[in-house]
């Protein structure tokens, strides 16, 4: 009898050990075979997560078993996650369920329109371009924060920003407002006042400087020239504002390489040949170098400028109309020779 009991006990122990081994083999041994980053959607289900992690697993079924046992299918989080080679199933599930998500560096450069900005941002975060565009143009948000359709683009300063991949469209927009307010600290507001400008007027003038020259070293000179005109109550007479007005009338995809005399008569609040002062909003998205150029312009006596035919991408500056007309004739002759009529 004792012998039978002993045999039965050994069998039970062996069976128990077998099942414990099977459980242990699913839970604790290394299962991730390669370090990788995965992007889990906010509304993802377990099947979708499995599809993301399966290429990096030695045993896919064991991951599913552990995930279900730990109730992961009811606690899935969206975001970018790093899975590391050598992780066990329990370690992987714990990380996806409660570990720290990775951040991304979201970047955007000078975008002319909200449509282009939304497209640029949507390829970097989970939110799609339509939801981003709707958030950027939300009239209640704009009114609450003292922006309008003309000035709203000023809120987005080209840079690199650290945030989570699953940031929503609204949270992206709110983050940009926070960054805008942080940029316009007391010191910069005072510098704007020294030029008799508000922050939004600085952004508008900076957008003209941005469009006028791609040469960063020239921007403080160009800003100083426009400020000379502004302070002396001259019209800014900035060709980029005419192109902006033309695009508003004919479409953003229409290319204007040359401003014609007839274009200077276009009826638009952005026509700086017909209207004195700063336009009602930015004509594009100025980067920090253009903004700082307006806040810290080069002091000089220039009132005129013309594209240079010798220093490609730069300008020839003049203090009086006679010097300017001489520069302008050279430039007009050059572009006509190249066959650029529009």
Residue ending a domain, among 63, 98, 133, is 98
- Please tell me the least confidently modeled range out of 50-59, 63-72, 310-319: 310-319
One domain for residues 176 and 59: no
Domain assignment of residue 14, yes or no:
no
Domain assignment of residue 65, yes or no:
yes
Domain assignment of residue 103, yes or no:
no
The mean pLDDT of the chain is 91
Domain assignment of residue 2, yes or no:
no
One domain for residues 172 and 201: no
Count of domains observed in the chain: 3
Residue ending a domain, among 183, 216, 242, is 183
One domain for residues 207 and 241: yes
Contact yes or no for 222/315 (Cβ under 8 A):
yes
Asked if pLDDT for residue 1 goes beyond 80, the answer is: no
Contact yes or no for 236/227 (Cβ under 8 A):
no
pLDDT (tens digit, 9 = 90+) per residue, 186-244?
A: 999 999 999 999 999 999 999 999 999 999 999 999 999 999 999 999 999 999 999 99
Tell me the CATH number at 89: 3.30.1490.480
* pLDDT value, residue 19: 43
Q: Is 8 left (phi over 0), alpha (psi -120 to 50) or beta?
A: alpha
Domain assignment of residue 5, yes or no:
no
One domain for residues 94 and 119: no
Asked if pLDDT for residue 17 goes beyond 60, the answer is: no
User: What's the whole-model pTM score?
Assistant: 0.87
Q: What is d(CA 255, CA 257) in angstroms, rounded to the nearest whole number?
A: 6
One domain for residues 89 and 115: no
One domain for residues 48 and 81: yes
The set of residues, in sequence order, having a beta carbon less than 8 Å from that of 56 and lying 6+ positions away, is 32, 33, 34, 36, 83
Domain assignment of residue 16, yes or no:
no
pLDDT (tens digit, 9 = 90+) per residue, 279-311?
A: 999 999 999 999 999 999 999 999 999 888 888
One domain for residues 44 and 152: no
Domain assignment of residue 26, yes or no:
yes
Range of the domain at 93: 22-98
Q: What is d(CA 59, CA 182) in angstroms, rounded to the nearest whole number?
A: 49
Task: Find residue 40's DSSP bridge partners.
Answer: 79
């Amino acid at each position: 009898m004792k012998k039978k009991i002993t045999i039965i006990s050994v069998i039970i122990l062996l069976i128990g050990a077998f099942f414990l081994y099977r459980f242990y083999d699913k839970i604790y041994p290394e299962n991730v075979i390669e370090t990788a980053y995965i992007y889990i959607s906010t509304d993802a289900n377990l099947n979708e997560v499995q599809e993301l992690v399966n290429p990096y697993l030695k045993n896919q079924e064991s991951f599913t078993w552990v995930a279900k046992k730990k109730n992961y299918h009811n606690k899935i989080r969206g975001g970018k996650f790093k899975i590391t080679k050598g992780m066990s199933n329990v370690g992987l599930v714990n990380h996806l369920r409660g570990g720290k998500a990775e951040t991304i560096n979201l970047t955007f450069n000078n975008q002319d329109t909200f449509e282009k900005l939304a497209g640029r941002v949507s390829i970097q975060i989970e939110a799609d371009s339509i939801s981003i565009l709707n958030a950027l143009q939300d009239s209640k948000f704009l009114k609450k924060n003292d922006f309008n359709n003309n000035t709203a683009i000023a809120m987005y300063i080209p840079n690199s920003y650290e945030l989570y991949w699953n940031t929503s469209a609204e949270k992206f927009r709110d983050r940009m407002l926070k960054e805008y307010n942080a940029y316009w600290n007391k010191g910069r507001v005072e510098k704007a006042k020294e030029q008799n400008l508000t922050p939004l007027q600085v952004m508008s003038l900076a957008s003209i400087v941005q469009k006028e020259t791609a040469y960063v070293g020239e921007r403080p000179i160009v800003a100083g020239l426009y400020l000379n005109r502004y302070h002396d109550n001259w019209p800014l007479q900035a060709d980029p504002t005419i192109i902006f007005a033309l695009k508003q009338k004919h479409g953003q995809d229409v290319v204007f390489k040359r401003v014609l005399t007839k274009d200077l008569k276009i009826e638009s609040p952005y026509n700086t040949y017909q209207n004195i002062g700063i336009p009602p909003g930015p004509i594009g998205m100025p980067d920090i170098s253009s903004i700082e150029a307006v806040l810290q312009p080069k002091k000089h006596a220039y009132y005129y400028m013309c594209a240079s035919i010798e220093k490609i991408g730069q300008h020839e500056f003049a203090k009086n109309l006679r010097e300017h007309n001489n520069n302008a004739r050279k430039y007009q002759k050059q572009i006509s020779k190249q066959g650029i009529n529009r």
